[in-house]
């Protein structure tokens, strides 16, 4: 599956009638992610604060103000892997400053994710966002 833009993702969510269909779509997005190698599933890449196992790896391409942050991620839970895919669509491949300044919660609000996620999943999503913003801040410094 080709990765849609975030605007396309919003359109797709609006097109789907109910949350069961939207969950299936999020899971499908997660299945399209390349799985991480076993050695990447290390304690240093593990996201703390998630009930599921989640690993994120950030990479920098370029230098200085032209640097771009990309990330890869994986999870042992299908819906969480889908949430990683949504964050990838929104944040990966952008300059660190853009990532820091993006109001991720507002963007995800356009998808209506907050109403559909359990508090535990919402906390895990917040932990993933914090980790990505922290990685971006470290690069921007």
pLDDT single digits (tens) 14-50 = 998 888 899 999 999 999 999 999 999 999 999 998 8
3, 89 Cβ separation under 8 angstroms? yes
The tens digit of pLDDT for each residue in 109-141 reads 999 887 888 888 899 999 999 999 999 998 877
Q: What is the pTM of this model?
A: 0.93
Instruction: Match 């922290």 to its residue by tokens.
Output: 134
| Closest to 15 measured CA to CA, from 114, 7, 2, 122 | 7
Q: Is the pLDDT of residue 88 over 70?
A: yes
111 catalytic per annotation: no
CATH class of 6-140: alpha beta
C-alpha–C-alpha distance, residues 139 and 38, integer Å: 26
Question: Predicted confidence band at 53 (pLDDT cuts at 50, 70, 90)?
Answer: very high
CA neighbours closer than 13 Å in the CB half-sphere of residue 92: 19
pLDDT of residue 64: 74
C-alpha–C-alpha distance, residues 78 and 134, integer Å: 24
Catalytic residue among 50, 125, 129, 132: 50
In percent, the amount of the chain with pLDDT more than 70 equals: 99
């Amino acid at each position: 599956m080709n990765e849609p833009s975030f605007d396309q993702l919003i359109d797709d969510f609006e097109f789907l009638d109910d949350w069961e269909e939207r969950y299936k779509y999020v899971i499908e997005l997660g299945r399209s992610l390349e799985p991480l190698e076993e050695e990447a599933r290390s304690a240093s890449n593990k996201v703390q604060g998630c009930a599921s196992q989640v690993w994120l790896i950030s990479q920098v391409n370029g230098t200085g103000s032209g640097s771009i942050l990309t990330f890869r991620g994986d999870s042992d839970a299908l819906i969480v892997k889908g949430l990683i895919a949504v964050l990838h669509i929104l944040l990966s491949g952008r300059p660190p400053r853009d990532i820091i300044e993006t109001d991720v919660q507002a963007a995800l609000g356009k998808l209506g994710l907050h109403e559909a996620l359990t508090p535990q999943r919402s906390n895990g999503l917040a932990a993933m966002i914090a980790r990505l913003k922290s990685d971006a801040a470290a690069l921007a410094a």
